[in-house]
């Protein structure tokens, strides 16, 4: 490959263009479905750690990290070396589900991180995305139980494929899709700032806990016993909502008593993101099926299920996928998992998360448009509100999705990349590299306050 072609392939200087040029070409080449470029209008030339540089040589602090995929940040040297090792080893890059010494090492190490060091679990490699793994989990639960129903929760996000979308709370992508997967029953998910029962606090959590147990036990509930319950222990796209420990423990107890498989979706919250290896560990429970993607592949496409062996009802070939054997992703995934464990990354993330929430709470005192700060570890959300309007009977102010969108724009202009989530996109979300330094978190705080001022928000 000549230098000229190589530069063209990388694209950093191939058009001598600016961000606007590349975005215009992207709009010409790609479907209307593209989303991130509409909110984050840049063309990326290079990236390292928590920093992204665009084609105009502007730098951005990346607090999105591939929607949580890049646990070790952009182009970590250990990750790049693991890719080089595979390329020079002679291993095939594509193996279907045939094994290799690398896959063997990855599988053994990943299993050792599951509850009980994985002794009761086996792995299933699905297609490359989290949604693929969700589809497999739903099918397996139905196959094992012989039942067809699934209980999911408001605010939950599980992907955009047909079954995964059916168990996702967001209504917008469902509007033009008829014939969704049947027998999906949605139930309210606890919300510390906007209790779905209008009760709030500990009383709201207790009521929701009772509500779930009663629905399963009530012979007049109208809901047939489901094959599975699927949930996130910390909702991500739904606005960074951690599940209360008591509620999650009761769901585990009830599902076990009734032979209902509990599927925990750890695609975004898993692998030290919340200050523990898995978010469900905060409640001390063990799922029947663990859905893993994003960080498990170390930045490359990989999705895996951890399945309690007693529920492995598959027969050979009953769920397949061409790209189950991504050797590069297993190499980068193994490197990521080892780095996390050997450097005790979960404790580092937990401490940083508590410190950062404290700093944001101080910021909130000066800028009451930050209505609520929540999350665990480096998975944090800030709900943007209208503090000059009347609060509801629980003391929560009306959400302000327009200001949230403006703040995301002003953050971008200040060199800070954040994503939004929650109802109407009113929650600004932080999902930075887990290796972000305290100094870089300080830069985040400075840039975020700069964005608040640029949006016309005056401190009190």
Quick one: which of 63, 127, 61 has its CA closest to 415?
A: 61
Buried b (16+ CB within 10 A) or exposed e, 326-361: bbbbbbbbbbbbebbeeeebbebbbebbeebbebbe
CATH of 344-460, one of 3.30.300.30, 3.40.50.2300, 3.30.413.10, 3.90.1150.10: 3.90.1150.10
The contacts of residue 257 (CB under 8 Å, 6+ apart) are none
pLDDT given at position 7: 40
Cα angle vertex 440, ends 436, 445, to 5°?
120
Fold observed for domain 79-342: 3.40.640
Question: What pLDDT shows up at residue 14?
Answer: 55
Residue 394 to residue 243: CA distance in whole angstroms:
19
Instruction: List, for residues 229-276, the tens digit of each pLDDT value.
Output: 999 999 999 999 999 999 999 999 999 999 999 999 999 999 999 999
Question: CA-to-CA distance for 386 and 396, rounded, in angstroms?
Answer: 10
pLDDT digit of tens for each residue in the chain (460 aa)?
A: 334 334 444 544 455 689 999 999 999 999 999 999 999 999 999 999 999 999 999 999 999 999 999 999 999 999 999 999 999 999 999 999 999 999 999 999 999 999 999 999 999 999 899 999 999 999 999 999 999 999 999 999 999 999 999 999 999 999 989 999 999 999 999 999 999 999 999 999 999 999 999 999 999 999 999 999 999 999 999 999 999 999 999 999 999 999 999 999 999 999 999 999 999 999 999 999 999 999 999 999 999 999 999 999 999 999 999 999 999 999 999 999 999 999 999 999 999 999 999 999 999 999 999 999 999 999 999 999 999 999 999 999 999 999 999 999 999 999 999 999 999 999 999 999 999 999 999 999 999 999 999 999 999 9
Q: At what angle do helices 101-113 and 327-342 cross, to 10 degrees?
A: 40
CA distance 176 to 346: 41
Q: DSSP letter at 230?
A: E
What does DSSP assign to residue 295? G
In the chain, where are the structural domains located? 79-342, 344-460
As a three-state string, the secondary structure of 129-158 is: CHHHHHHHHHHHHHHHHCCCCEEEECCCCC
The span from the CA of 150 to the CA of 141, in Å, is 9
Q: Which of 210, 247, 218 is nearest to 231 (CA)?
A: 247
CB atoms within 10 A of CB 120: 15
| Integer Cα distance of 435 and 76 in angstroms | 10
Q: How far is residue 58's CA from residue 416's CA, in Å, rounded to a whole number?
A: 11
DSSP H helices, 200-264, are: 201-217, 245-257
Nearest CA-CA partner of 310 in 360, 252, 261: 261
- What was the pLDDT predicted at 424? 94
What is the pTM assigned to this prediction? 0.95
d(CA 289, CA 231): 11
Dump pLDDT digits (tens) for 90-132: 999 999 999 999 999 999 999 999 999 999 999 999 989 999 9
């Amino acid at each position: 490959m000549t230098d000229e072609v190589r530069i063209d392939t990388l694209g950093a200087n191939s058009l001598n263009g600016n961000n606007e040029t590349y975005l215009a070409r992207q709009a010409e080449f790609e479907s209307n479905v593209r989303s991130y470029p509409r909110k984050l209008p840049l063309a990326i030339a290079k990236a390292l750690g928590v920093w992204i540089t665009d084609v105009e040589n502007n730098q951005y602090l990346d607090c999105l990290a591939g929607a949580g995929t890049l646990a070790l940040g952009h182009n970590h040297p250990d990750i790049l070396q693991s890719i080089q090792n595979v390329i020079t080893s002679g291993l095939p890059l594509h193996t279907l589900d045939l094994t290799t010494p690398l896959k063997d090492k990855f599988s053994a190490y990943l299993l050792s991180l599951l509850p009980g060091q994985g002794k009761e679990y086996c792995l299933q490699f699905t297609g490359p995305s989290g949604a693929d793994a969700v589809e497999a989990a739903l099918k397996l639960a139905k196959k094992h139980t012989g039942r067809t129903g699934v209980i999911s929760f408001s605010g939950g996000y599980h992907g955009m494929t047909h079954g995964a979308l059916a168990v996702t709370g967001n209504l917008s992508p469902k509007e033009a899709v008829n014939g969704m997967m049947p027998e999906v029953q949605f139930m309210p998910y606890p919300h510390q700032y906007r209790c779905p029962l209008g009760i709030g606090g500990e009383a709201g959590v207790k009521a929701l806990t009772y509500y779930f147990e009663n629905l399963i036990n009530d012979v007049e509930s109208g809901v047939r016993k489901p094959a599975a319950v699927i949930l996130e222990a910390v909702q991500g796209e739904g606005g960074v909502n951690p599940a209360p420990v008591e509620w999650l423990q009761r769901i585990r107890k009830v599902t076990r008593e009734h032979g209902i498989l509990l599927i925990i979706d750890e695609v975004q919250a898993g692998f030290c993101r919340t200050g523990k290896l898995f978010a469900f560990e905060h409640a001390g429970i063990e799922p029947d099926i663990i859905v893993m993607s994003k960080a498990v592949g170390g930045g490359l496409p990989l999705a895996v299920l951890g399945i309690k062996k007693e529920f492995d009802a598959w027969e050979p070939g009953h769920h397949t996928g061409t790209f189950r054997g991504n050797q590069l992703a297993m190499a980068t995934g193994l490197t990521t998992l080892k780095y996390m464990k050997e450097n005790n990354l979960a404790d580092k993330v937990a401490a940083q998360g508590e410190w950062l929430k404290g700093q944001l709470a101080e910021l909130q005192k000066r800028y009451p448009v930050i209505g609520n700060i929540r999350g665990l570890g480096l998975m944090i959300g800030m709900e943007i509100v209208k503090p000059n309007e009347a609060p509801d009977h629980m003391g929560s102010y009306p959400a302000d999705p327009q200001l949230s969108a403006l703040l995301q724009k002003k953050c971008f202009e200040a060199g800070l990349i954040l994503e939004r989530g929650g109802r109407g996109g009113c929650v600004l979300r932080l999902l930075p590299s887990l290796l972000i330094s305290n100094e870089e978190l300080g830069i985040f705080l400075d840039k975020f306050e700069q964005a608040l001022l640029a949006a016309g928000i005056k401190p009190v």
